[in-house]
């Protein structure tokens, strides 16, 4: 039971980290252009960081 009392909050905490990460991707526009991001990885970087 003791190990449960430690593991349960830990798993909930890990879940919260997942939600936080999802919220971060959402608020940083990671889903604005999924097709473009998939395509951009195939391009050679010739002009430095994009605006």
Partner 1 sequence: MALTYDLSPAPDLSAFLKQRPGGQPSLDLLVTGARCAACLGKIERETAAVKGVTGARLNLTTGKLSVTFDDLPSADPGAVIATLDRLGYPASPFDPDQAAEARDREGRQLILCLAVAAFGAMNTMMFSVPLWAGLFGQELGPATRVVMQWWCALVATPCVLYAGRPFFASAWRSLKARRANMDVPISIGVLLTLGISFSETILRGRDAYFDAAISLLFLLLIGRWLDHQLKARARSAAADLLALQAPAAVVVSVDGTEHRRPIGEVRVGDMLIVRPGERVPVDSLVESGSAELDTSLLTGETTVRQARPGQVCRAGVLNLTGVLRLQALARSEDSAVAAIARMVEAGAQSKSKYVQLADRAAQVYVPVVHTAAALTFAAGWALGLGPREALLRAVAVLIITCPCALGLAVPAVQVAASARLFRRGVLVKSGAALERLAEINHVVFDKTGVLTEGRPQLLDAPAPVVALAAPLARASIHPLAKALAEEAGAGPMADEVVEHPGLGVEGVIAGRRARLGRAEFVGAPAPESLETELWFGFEGETKIRFRFSDRLRSDAAETVAALKAMGLTVEVLSGDTQMAVAAAADAAGIGQRRGGLTPIGKADAIDVLQSGGHKVLMVGDGLNDTAALARAHAAMAPGSALDASQNAADLVFSGERLGAVVEAITAARQARRLALQNFGFAAAYNAVAAPAAMLGLVNPFLAALAMSGSSLVVTLNALRLRSAK
Q: Dihedral of the CA atoms 31, 36, 51, 20 (nearest 10)?
A: 20
- Distance between CA atoms of residues 44 and 10, nearest Å: 42
Task: Tell me whether residue 3 or residue 50 sits nearer to partner 1 (CB atom).
Answer: 50
Minimum CB distance to partner 1, residue 34 (Å)? 6
Q: Count the residues in the chain.
A: 51
Query: According to CB under 8 A, which residues from 3 to 42 bind partner 1?
Result: 8, 11-12, 15-16, 18-19, 22-23, 26, 32-36, 39-40, 42
Minimum CB distance to partner 1, residue 13 (Å)? 10
């Amino acid at each position: 039971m003791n190990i449960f009392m430690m593991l349960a909050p830990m798993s909930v905490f890990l879940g919260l980290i997942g939600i936080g990460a999802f919220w971060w991707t959402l608020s940083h526009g990671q889903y604005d252009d999924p097709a473009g991001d998939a395509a951009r990885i195939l391009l050679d970087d010739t002009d430095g960081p994009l605006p």
